[in-house]
Amino acid sequence: MADIIRVGYKRTNTEYDEAGNAYTYTTWVNGPTNVVLVPPFNAQIAGCLAGAALNPGDACYINTDGKVYPSIGTTAGALASKVVGYAAAAAAIGQPVTLYKGLIWNYSTGMTPGPVYLSATAAGNIGTAATVGGTAPIGYIVSSTLVQLNASDY
């Protein structure tokens, strides 16, 4: 199984908290974009805060602390293996994040139509084969650049 590589490139950022402590995170520039300009209300989850640095298009779950983290399919039945939505934009730790689900994303290039699953290789990624924690499809590649991404139902 190979993870699907997102379009765009990574940029490393450094920010400082109120105490002057530096933290570094990576974001995607020109990353996945939503092709639906105004998603319907029932396709959005807004009002959450990022518990980890998020990239646009990251598959995400909401942890028991109420914060959003990138999902990863390494453990069957684990909360982190669930997908409730996909990050609409990059978000640093503690910043607001909106999650989308059930929409078609301009995600990558050179994809072959077929089901996609939660990756067990890198948090937030999707791939083309089932994983221990991502046992059922969470979307479908509809063209060489577009993928419909849904919340998990496993």
In this prediction, residues 30-41 reach a mean pLDDT of: 49
Give the integer Cα–Cα distance in Å for 74 and 16: 32
Give the integer Cα–Cα distance in Å for 99 and 143: 23
Query: 101: domain range?
Result: 9-149
Classify residue 36: in a domain, yes or no: yes
Give the integer Cα–Cα distance in Å for 118 and 134: 5
Q: What are phi and psi of 60, to 5 degrees?
A: -135, 155
> Predicted confidence band at 66 (pLDDT cuts at 50, 70, 90)?
very high
Give the integer Cα–Cα distance in Å for 100 and 58: 10
Query: Of 1-10, 13-22, 46-55, 140-149, which gets the smallest average pLDDT?
Result: 1-10
Classify residue 4: in a domain, yes or no: no
Give the integer Cα–Cα distance in Å for 15 and 27: 12
Classify residue 49: in a domain, yes or no: yes
User: Is-contact 85 101, C-beta < 8 A?
Assistant: yes
Classify residue 3: in a domain, yes or no: no
Number of independent structural domains in the chain:
1
Which pLDDT belongs to residue 3?
Answer: 58
Classify residue 95: in a domain, yes or no: yes
> Predicted confidence band at 84 (pLDDT cuts at 50, 70, 90)?
very high
Give the integer Cα–Cα distance in Å for 9 and 150: 24
Classify residue 154: in a domain, yes or no: no
Which pLDDT belongs to residue 153?
Answer: 86
Assess whether pLDDT exceeds 60 at residue 111: yes
Three-state secondary-structure class, residue 80: helix
- Tokens standing for residue 52: 């980890």
Place of tokens 């998990």: 152
Classify residue 103: in a domain, yes or no: yes
